[in-house]
Amino acid sequence: MDPIVLASIVVSCVLILMALRVPIAYSLGSCASIGLILYFGWRPGSDLNFSEGLQPALQLIRTNIYAFVHSYPLSMIPLFIGLGHVAYHADITTDLYSSLRILLRKLPGGLAIASVNGCAGFSAITGSSVACAAAMGRIAVPEMLKYNYHPRLASGAVAAGGTLGSLIPPSLLFVIYAIFTEQSVNNLFLAGVIPGILSLICFIITISIWCAIRPEDGPKLNEKISKEEKIKAIVGLWPSFLLFFVVVGGIYSGVFTPTEAAAVSLAVAIMIGIARRKLKLYSLIEAGKETVRQTAAIFLIALAAKLFTTFISLSRVTPWVLDWLTSVNPPFFMVLLVIVVFYLIIGMFLDSIGILVLTLPFTVPIMAEYGVDLIWFGVIVIKLLEIGLITPPVGLNIFVIRGVTPSSVTLTSVFQGAGAFLILDFFVLAMLIAFPILSLWLPNSAF
């Protein structure tokens, strides 16, 4: 069978299985494995010989799995996941939101602004958008509903704020992107800082405009806060700021590699939890169990994606696409526009990790052919995946928020609330595309 035809069939099968909600790892791994067997056992112009294709396919699968698991950058994934779970069980993330809630409560929409900032802080510790949305949804949305915030604003702010975990370091999506594109995790983390802050500012602007138009949706809270409560709230911010400083400050200054920063920050989080007597042995064990489960799921996806990438490389689909582009010679802006629209469409149906591992074998070589900085392109891709987390009909963060909030918050209200934040989200995306310096300034200026 012609390799291009075989690759087309395999990719179509992967998309069909993922559309049927078959887990990503199973979809990619099974299709890639069968594709490798057919590639070696069904050469063009000859009949299928299953036994002839089985042995080299199994050998390639074993080699790829062994080499991939022994990849040093992979070790930072369980460390950052563990950091997030430890921070949650040690009440570091809860205290962050509580402090911001007290300090910002008198602003119109102050609780929503505090929630978005809390999501940013949580993201800077955990690196997971879904974990951020789940944790903050349990904490922040009921609090806002208690003070008569409209369900659309309460749920939409947390759903949108939760996406910041994709950009603000340490982002797990950046780690996966770095591994599959052989880019520097260090530079990718730094590249996400300014876009993440810009996204946060735009979310705050959205809340301010919303409350200016409909002040009843985010009422001011006129409760008096004592000086002692304000001081306590400010003091409550220090664990989150310390962990962020260890990760980003350590990487930017060159003191730590990303993996070292992950290990040190995890150790610091454990020590903070123990010193404040908020992290018990039981909680630490629970955090460890949750870390193992989440890490295993991500590693299975990564291994399956590696097999899929190997199959695509053998089938030579990418060189065929590049040859076709060379013959057509479209302008770069047109190619980039097509890729952006493609990510926006596929982001409506698939989750972020699935999109990342499925598309990188095709889009990255195209961008490299045009001489694009792959660090900048990584930020664009992650921003697109961030937008996909709150776009219908899938919008993973939307369903996460609905699952952890009271029944008064309907799925429709979450989608409507998050939709208001998409307007300035697209503005940030346009800014990042038009001005690559927003993504590249910090990586280029790091020690």
Distance CA 322, CA 56 (A): 28
Lowest mean pLDDT among 2-16, 145-159, 308-322, 329-343: 308-322
The pLDDT of residue 201 is 92
Distance CA 430, CA 447 (A): 29
N residues, the chain: 447
Q: Vertex 129, ends 128 and 131: CA angle to 5°?
A: 65
For residue 238, what pLDDT band results from cuts at 50, 70 and 90?
confident
CA neighbor of 250 nearest in space, from 432, 124, 73? 124
Given a cut of 80, whether residue 37 has pLDDT beyond it is yes
The pLDDT of residue 426 is 93
Distance CA 193, CA 379 (A): 10
Average pLDDT over residues 306-314: 85
Given a cut of 80, whether residue 290 has pLDDT beyond it is yes
- Helix, strand, or coil here: 404? helix
For residue 126, what pLDDT band results from cuts at 50, 70 and 90?
low
- Helix, strand, or coil here: 444? helix
Distance CA 245, CA 380 (A): 25
Q: Three-class SS string for 345-367?
A: HHCCCCCHHHHHHHHHHHHHHHH
Phi-psi sector, 395: left (phi>0), alpha (psi -120 to 50), beta: left
Distances from the Cα of 82 to the Cαs of 101, 172, 425, in angstroms?
26, 12, 29
Question: Do you find a cis peptide bond into 393, omega within 30 degrees of 0?
Answer: yes
Q: Which two tokens stand for residue 172?
A: 């797990």
Task: State the sign of the Cα–Cα–Cα–Cα dihedral 316, 318, 321, 323.
Answer: negative
CA neighbor of 385 nearest in space, from 78, 174, 131, 120? 174
Average pLDDT over residues 381-398: 84
Average pLDDT over residues 320-340: 84
CA neighbor of 100 nearest in space, from 252, 230, 226, 294? 230
Distance CA 305, CA 17 (A): 14
